[in-house]
Amino acid sequence: MEFLKKKVIRLLILIACVVGCCSQVEARVRQYKWEVKYELKSPDCYKKLAITINGRSPGPSIVARVGDTIVVHLKNSLITENVAIHWHGIRQIGTPWMDGTEGVTQCPILPADTFVYKFVVDRPGTYLYHAHYGMQREAGLYGSLRVLLKEGESEPFQYDYDRSIILNDWYHTSVQEQSLGLSSIPFVWVGEPDSILIQGRGKFDCNTPGIAAALCNASNPECAPYAMTVVPGKTYRLRIGSLTALSALSFEIEGHNMTVVEADGHYVEPFVVKNLFIYSGETYSVLITADQDPSRNYWASAKIVSRPSNTTNGLALFNYYPNHPRRDPPTAPPAGPRWDDVAPRLAQSNAIRARRGFINPPPQSTDRTIVMLNTQNTVGGLLRWSVNNVSFNMPHTPYLIAYKHNLLNAFEQRQPPDGYDAAAYNISAPPPNPNATISNAAYRLKFNTTVDIILQNANTMNPSNSETHPWHLHGHDFWVLGYGMGKYNGTTGKLNLVDPIMKNTVAVHPFGWTALRFRADNPGVWAFHCHIESHFFMGMGVVFEEGVERVGELPSSIMGCGETKGFYKP
Binding site for a copy of itself (CB under 8 A): 37-40, 49, 79-83, 107-108, 110-113, 133-136, 174, 176-177, 179-180, 210-214, 396, 556-557, 559-562, 564-570
CB nearer a copy of itself, residue 78 or residue 502: 78
Prior bond to 322 cis, omega within 30?
yes
CB nearer a copy of itself, residue 358 or residue 568: 568
In a 3-state reduction of DSSP, which class is residue 387? Answer: strand
CB nearer a copy of itself, residue 401 or residue 455: 401
In DSSP terms, 315 is beta-bridged to 301
CB of 166 to a copy of itself, least distance (A): 22
**CA separation for the pair 49, 173 (Å, rounded):** 10
In a 3-state reduction of DSSP, which class is residue 122? Answer: coil
DSSP letter at 554 equals P
CB nearer a copy of itself, residue 133 or residue 159: 133
CB nearer a copy of itself, residue 135 or residue 382: 135
b/e map of 16-51 (b: 16 or more CB within 10 Å)? eeeeeeeeeeeeeeeeeebebbeeebbbbbbbbebb
CB nearer a copy of itself, residue 13 or residue 40: 40
In DSSP terms, 212 is beta-bridged to none
CB of 205 to a copy of itself, least distance (A): 15
- Contact, 559 vs 401, CB < 8 A? yes
CB of 385 to a copy of itself, least distance (A): 17
CB nearer a copy of itself, residue 41 or residue 476: 41
Query: Looking at this protein, which amino acid is placed at residue 451?
Result: V
Query: Looking at this protein, which amino acid is placed at residue 142?
Result: Y
CB nearer a copy of itself, residue 108 or residue 510: 108
- Contact, 516 vs 363, CB < 8 A? no
CB of 2 to a copy of itself, least distance (A): 56
Prior bond to 108 cis, omega within 30?
no
CB of 101 to a copy of itself, least distance (A): 14
**CA separation for the pair 24, 40 (Å, rounded):** 45
Nearest CA to 560 out of 404, 405, 398 is that of: 398
Nearest CA to 126 out of 228, 237, 239 is that of: 239
Question: What DSSP assignment string belongs to 27-75?
Answer: --EEEEEEEEEEEEE-TTSB-EEEEEETTBSS-PPEEEETT-EEEEEEE
CB nearer a copy of itself, residue 55 or residue 361: 55
CB of 177 to a copy of itself, least distance (A): 6
**CA separation for the pair 380, 552 (Å, rounded):** 41
Could you list the beta-strand ranges (E) of 520-564: 524-530, 541-546
Termini Cα distance of the chain? 62
CB nearer a copy of itself, residue 211 or residue 231: 211
CB of 11 to a copy of itself, least distance (A): 44
**CA separation for the pair 60, 143 (Å, rounded):** 6
CB nearer a copy of itself, residue 162 or residue 222: 222
CB of 401 to a copy of itself, least distance (A): 12
Q: Measured at the alpha carbon of residue 53, what is the angle toward residues 116 and 84, in degrees to the nearest 5?
A: 45
CB nearer a copy of itself, residue 136 or residue 349: 136
Query: Which residues, including other chains, have CB under 8 Å from residue 165's CB and lie 6 or more apart?
Result: 198, 199, 226, 228, 238, 239, 240, 241, 316
CB of 539 to a copy of itself, least distance (A): 14
CB of 139 to a copy of itself, least distance (A): 9
CB of 320 to a copy of itself, least distance (A): 39
CB nearer a copy of itself, residue 176 or residue 462: 176
CB of 307 to a copy of itself, least distance (A): 23
**CA separation for the pair 216, 35 (Å, rounded):** 27
CB of 297 to a copy of itself, least distance (A): 36
**CA separation for the pair 443, 516 (Å, rounded):** 16
**CA separation for the pair 300, 252 (Å, rounded):** 6
In DSSP terms, 188 is beta-bridged to none
CA 491 to the chain's CA centroid: 30
